[in-house]
A and B are shown apart, each in its own frame.
Chain A
Amino acid sequence: MIPGRRGLTGRRDKDLLRFLTCGSVDDGKSTLIGRLLHDCALIYDDQLAALERESRRFGTAGEDIDFSLLLDGLEDERQQRITIDVAHRFFATPERAFIVADTPGHEQYTRNMATGASTSELAVILVDARKGVLPQTKRHAFICSLLGIRQMVLAVNKMDLVGFDERCFEGIATQFLAFATGLRGVSIQAIPVAARFGDNVTARSARMPWYRGPILLEHLHSVEISGGGTDRPFRFPVQWVNRPNGEFRGYCGTIASGAIAPGEEVLIAGSGRCARVKEIVTFDGSLDRAQAGDAITLTLESETDIARGDLLADPGAPPEFVDQFAGHVIWLSEHPLVPGRSYLLKIGTRTVPATVTALKHRIDVNTLAHLADRTLELNEIGFCNLSTAAAVAFDPFEVNRDTGAFILIDRFTNQTAGAGMIAFGLWRASNLHWQALTVGREQRAAVKEQRAAVLWFTGLSGAGKSTIADLAEKKLLSFGRHTMLLDGDNVRHGLNRDLGFTDADRVENIRRVGEVAKLMTEAGLIVLCSFISPFRAERRMVRELTAPTAFLEIFVDTPLDECIRRDPKGLYAKAKAGRIPHFTGLDSPYETPEAPELRVTTIATTPESVVEHVLDELRRRNII
């Protein structure tokens, strides 16, 4: 069974299986892979010698070699004896080539586990025979199934520590299968193993004669690998337009599914336009046909306006094209997902601003029950409605992993904050159209002899925002300008009376105010808004929402100490007494504007002179 040195045999005409190991902490994931590599003769002598040295120093296997040290490649991992990030290893047997991702078991590193799972076709889920199925076992199995993995191995490990007991194995397998009936379309093979000694990993165990199913390596050899999508409709996300000179214009990309040949028609998704393929260009010569997975360059018969981010598709089976859809989201960031907040969404080769418009439910990974919630925290999974700034082409993730998957990027930290899988488009998007109007903002503003604008006053409670905004409006009125003032406190008495002061409610509060301000600029007004608006993300959201109207972020920069001293409404005193939770500046953050149009201070000056400053700025910008 053990392939010996021939384990390094080349991969000529063999296929490739990508899989991951996952499961809870200390269930033996790294040890299992170490064992596979060792038995397939993939560990070189000098690596083995180094491993023996380190096993004595850091190892947890007594006198034996600690195979996990082979994979835990980071200093922190070896010192803390845990796996933090995913490691990719490569091995081949005479039958098949493998890329295996060893992923961390700790809940806090779930995002690294998801990284390994997203490119895998099979998951080996380990369970410690002594502990049985844990919440983390279920979490990983559920995430694997969400990310599209249909083949799972339940490896019940450390069988040596339960006396190779058949009933123990059966009990765990039954428990896991009962949970897995809630996962769609997944096939599961349970195998009892002792990874440290190799039992049922690469060689059949003499100590578990009662087990007659396939051993792990046999199973890895025999599972069917999906065809890579050649049988599905043609999809080609345009990645880069190649224009070395005036004569050549080629569309570069990797075929996501299906196949293409010269002379065939392609649809430019969303445009309704089609074009005929002229040539499939590669460095090695033009091709008669190309299929899923091929990185090619297409030229078309007719001059067509196509750019990076467009999706070329089979005209007979077009993808959906909408700006609102629903799908699962796995949250990967320490900053919670907040509905209404703007993120960047990357799908295929397209990146567009997007917001989660509603969190329909959160999923309890233990029971798979649907729970109501306002936000998603790190490592939580939810089902959401999303809205993109422009329509995007997609297929449901279940049908096509490449055209149905997206990531959400935090616009401030640039972190990859979420992983998403589109379930379906929302009807509203395709049936709700903008009513074209003849009179617009410009005309309405022109009769008032002004330009519409938003003056957004931000700052701590008690900074003086409302005083300044009120005085500024009075001045503008006295010049005959048409204005409106939206004030935080006043809005919360009506429009936003249903909202509290959690982060999620604060975001929704600002989103609604932004929409109202936008309507008022459409009416040609100069809109003054006075809101603490502590988060940069929301101030940016309003700025983008009201564009192209002039937007002036005015930072009323009064230090916290001074605000506490003034405390005009007695709120700081109450908050300090613990009677107001989530109070900005105390136990809720205020994110200072990075580049406001205007920054004003209120110490050693009068509100009148601050307002003069604001009006000067408006004149400078030709608003008044």
Chain B
Amino acid sequence: MTAITKPPVSAGVQIKHLKRLEAESIGIMREVVAEFRKPVMLYSIGKDSTVMVHLARKAFFPARPPFPLLHIDTGWKFREMISFRDASAQRLGLDLIVHTNEEGKARGISPITSGSALHTAVMKTEALKQALDRHAFDAAFGGARRDEERSRAKERIFSVRSAEHGWNPRNQRPELWRLYNTRLRDGESMRVFPLSNWTELDVWEYIAAEEIDVVPLYYAALRPVVKRSGVWIMVDDERLPLEPGERPEMRLIRFRTLGCYPLTGAIESAAATPTEIVAELRDTSRSERQGRLIDSDEEAAMERKKREGYF
């Protein structure tokens, strides 16, 4: 009768605090499914998205999550991410929509030749808007957390977007108790962030407790890298042109966040399991987004991107 096989009971969350976060996220997801016409879950293949998909399986058990996953493929994701994406969707029996901004691709937009700002605007923000419009989704889950970045810390769990997908931070709806106002006018849509109150450490403790599979790039291994602007960039394939004199070297590295590979810096680390990562995080002096080249363009980079429709 069940649509999805049950994992062993012992895999359940044992930690009180994580259980509370889990219950809050599940409540948010159910509210969306109950109140919206056509929701979708943004799936970036990263650890937060992966935790979000895991929570969705819990929220609707024994049914499958009653919405598809949407991946915005810029064409510049690590190869291991793409294979993990396809294998996960198949293993979990979830609908996966992959969307690429074909027009941007035809124009040859790339993070290397176009710069990170234009690449992000065209291949991520524009592509996302195209996909949401094409399928007429009225609510989209995102895995963003408030502790990632200070403009995220200001956003509601249910965040209204205009017909043009813009965020208006000056006019956010009050959000009281757990009474989420889900009403929309024609053309508007809702972005919903079930992991708002999770921290990076919570996510890893949860991955460890629940034994959730994530892309192996999060775990330390010897990988070919070059150093650029002070960060390690992995040479994933021949599309990354090497600069004169640059020679890839093998380093024991891992990624704290995953994006487009020419824009995502790795850290030197020997942490090869979730438990080792939890231990490493307790000791680190650098924030999670330090490796993200697209956020440091300017101090309000994230807010500006969100106003334009970025997640």
**Could you list which residues of chain A lie within 8 angstroms of chain B, going by C-beta atoms?**
5-6, 8-16, 44-47, 50, 53-54, 70-76, 78, 84-90, 97, 99, 111-112, 114-115, 118-119, 147, 239-240, 242-245, 247-248, 250, 252-254, 281-285, 293-295, 297, 308, 332, 344, 346-349, 401-402, 405-407, 409, 414-416, 419
Decide if A90 touches B147 in the complex (CB within 8 Å). yes
User: What are 10 sample pairs from A and B whose C-beta atoms fall under 8 A apart?
Assistant: A11-B202, A12-B205, A44-B290, A74-B170, A76-B169, A85-B169, A118-B176, A252-B59, A284-B11, A415-B173
Residues 4-25 (chain B) with a chain A CB within 8 angstroms:
6-7, 9, 11-13, 15-20, 22-24
A402 CB contacts on chain B under 8 angstroms = 177-178
Binds A, one of B74-82, B83-91, B128-136, B149-157: B149-157
Cβ of B26 within 8 Å of any chain A Cβ, yes or no, is yes
- Tell me the bound Cα distance from A240 to B39 in angstroms: 15
B18 CB contacts on chain A under 8 angstroms = 11
Which one, B62, B170, B174, contacts A248 given CB within 8 A? B62
- Tell me the bound Cα distance from A118 to B9 in angstroms: 35
A90 CB contacts on chain B under 8 angstroms = 146-147, 197, 199
Minimum CB–CB distance from B27 to chain A (whole Å) comes to: 5
B150 CB contacts on chain A under 8 angstroms = 70-73, 87
Contacts A8-B284, A90-B147 known; list 13 others, CB within 8 Å. Answer: A71-B150, A74-B151, A74-B303, A87-B153, A99-B197, A242-B63, A248-B62, A253-B30, A283-B7, A284-B7, A346-B179, A409-B183, A419-B174
B16 CB contacts on chain A under 8 angstroms = 13-15
Decide if B174 touches A281 in the complex (CB within 8 Å). no
Minimum CB–CB distance from B282 to chain A (whole Å) comes to: 5
Closest residue of chain A to B287, judged by CB?
Answer: A44
Whether A401 contacts B6 in the complex (CB less than 8 A), given A90-B197, A295-B22, comes out as no
Minimum CB–CB distance from B2 to chain A (whole Å) comes to: 8
Q: Is the interface of A mostly helix, strand, loop or mixed?
A: mixed
Whether A46 contacts B287 in the complex (CB less than 8 A), given A74-B169, A239-B31, comes out as yes
- Tell me the bound Cα distance from A409 to B173 in angstroms: 10
Cβ of B237 within 8 Å of any chain A Cβ, yes or no, is no
Residue interface bits B297-311, CB-to-A below 8 A is 1, else 0: 001100110000000
- Tell me the bound Cα distance from A54 to B300 in angstroms: 11
Minimum CB–CB distance from A353 to chain B (whole Å) comes to: 13
- Tell me the bound Cα distance from A365 to B167 in angstroms: 33
B303 CB contacts on chain A under 8 angstroms = 73-75
Closest residue of chain B to A54, judged by CB?
Answer: B299
Minimum CB–CB distance from B23 to chain A (whole Å) comes to: 4
Decide if B177 touches A89 in the complex (CB within 8 Å). no
B153 CB contacts on chain A under 8 angstroms = 71, 73, 87-89
Residues 241-279 (chain B) with a chain A CB within 8 angstroms:
278
Whether A15 contacts B176 in the complex (CB less than 8 A), given A86-B154, A294-B23, A295-B23, comes out as no
Minimum CB–CB distance from A201 to chain B (whole Å) comes to: 20
Residue interface bits B194-235, CB-to-A below 8 A is 1, else 0: 001101011001000000000000000000000000000000
Which one, B6, B172, B181, B185, contacts A346 given CB within 8 A? B181
Q: How large is the interface on B (under 10, 10 to 19, 20 to 34, 35 or more residues)?
A: 35 or more
Which one, A13, A74, A88, contacts B15 given CB within 8 A? A13
A84 CB contacts on chain B under 8 angstroms = 169-170
Decide if A285 touches B9 in the complex (CB within 8 Å). yes
Cβ of B38 within 8 Å of any chain A Cβ, yes or no, is no
Decide if A119 touches B177 in the complex (CB within 8 Å). yes
A12 CB contacts on chain B under 8 angstroms = 15, 17, 205
Minimum CB–CB distance from A47 to chain B (whole Å) comes to: 5
- Tell me the bound Cα distance from A227 to B55 in angstroms: 25
Minimum CB–CB distance from B289 to chain A (whole Å) comes to: 8
Cβ of B99 within 8 Å of any chain A Cβ, yes or no, is no
Cβ of B239 within 8 Å of any chain A Cβ, yes or no, is no
A346 CB contacts on chain B under 8 angstroms = 179, 181
B62 CB contacts on chain A under 8 angstroms = 242, 244, 248, 250, 281
A332 CB contacts on chain B under 8 angstroms = 174
Residues 24-65 (chain B) with a chain A CB within 8 angstroms:
24, 26-27, 30-31, 33-34, 57-64
Question: A84, A119, A242, A281: which has the most chain B beta carbons within 10 Å?
Answer: A242
Whether A10 contacts B282 in the complex (CB less than 8 A), given A242-B60, A332-B174, comes out as yes
Minimum CB–CB distance from A277 to chain B (whole Å) comes to: 17
Cβ of B106 within 8 Å of any chain A Cβ, yes or no, is no
Whether A76 contacts B170 in the complex (CB less than 8 A), given A308-B34, A405-B177, A407-B179, comes out as yes
Decide if B177 touches A283 in the complex (CB within 8 Å). no
Cβ of B285 within 8 Å of any chain A Cβ, yes or no, is yes
- Tell me the bound Cα distance from A607 to B22 in angstroms: 66
Query: 3 closest pairs, A vs B, by CB?
Result: A73-B150, A284-B12, A244-B63
Which one, B58, B59, B154, B284, contacts A73 given CB within 8 A? B154
Decide if A240 touches B30 in the complex (CB within 8 Å). yes
Decide if B17 touches A11 in the complex (CB within 8 Å). yes
Decide if B146 touches A283 in the complex (CB within 8 Å). no
Minimum CB–CB distance from B206 to chain A (whole Å) comes to: 11
- Tell me the bound Cα distance from A285 to B26 in angstroms: 16
- Tell me the bound Cα distance from A407 to B22 in angstroms: 25
A50 CB contacts on chain B under 8 angstroms = 299
A73 CB contacts on chain B under 8 angstroms = 149-154, 303
